[in-house]
Amino acid sequence: MEKNTLGYKLRAARQERGLSQRELAHMASLSTNAISLIERDENSPSVSTLQSLATALNIKMSYFFDDHEPTTILHVKAEQRPVIISKGIRIEGLGGKLIRQEMDPFLVTLEPHSESGLRQVVHTGHELVYCLAGKVEYLIDGTIHDLECGDFLLFEAHLPHIWRNNNEDKAVILLVLQASGLAGEPVERHFSDYPSVVHIGK
């Protein structure tokens, strides 16, 4: 098995924590057979399944995408982005190896009538979604939010959520997952010369 496959990475993370497939399956609310198929690269997991596995293993979802060593600057060419394709959804990792990184950015392309998974997910931190093309429906804690090109969402990720493309055209979103840390500090530092910008998110 190649070391850069999703299945290899999942098995390595599981074994590093001393977990059996059955134990991980229980923690992630999946079947043991599902874990086995993913580890053998015989099944491509949905976005919600990836998030459930990442939460159960206490790792960032970008772990499944990145092969780079930790660094302070990460420049990835478009053709070099790691990609996972599953059930009509293309997920491109935009980088997750910065030292002390607290956010995971992804470019997600949804084929018509595709969705993040069959069940809603919850995780720590916050989630930001920016619609770049098409239309996407986000169900968050029982409320539907319809996103069109240029719309964005920012919400507490502990709220159950799921997303889908119910339309006949492709949709593209920028998805950013943030785990913890001083959320306001990066804005204040980055835009210190523009006081009006510093107060936008407050």
Q: What is the pLDDT of residue 129?
A: 96
| d(C-alpha 98, C-alpha 100), whole Å | 6
Q: What is the pLDDT of residue 108?
A: 92
Range(s) of the chain covered by CATH 1.10.260.40:
6-64
Superfamily of domain 78-178: Jelly Rolls (2.60.120.10)
Enter the pTM of the model: 0.69
Dihedral over Cα of 136, 140, 145, 150: its sign: negative
> Can you tell me the mean pLDDT for 27-53?
90
Give the residue with greater pLDDT, 23 vs 116: 23
| d(C-alpha 152, C-alpha 131), whole Å | 6
Q: Is the pLDDT of residue 184 over 50?
A: no
Q: Is the pLDDT of residue 105 over 50?
A: yes
Q: What is the pLDDT of residue 99?
A: 67
3-state secondary structure of 194: coil
CATH classification for the domain delimited by 6-64, as one of 2.40.30.170, 1.10.260.40, 1.10.150.120, 1.20.1560.10: 1.10.260.40
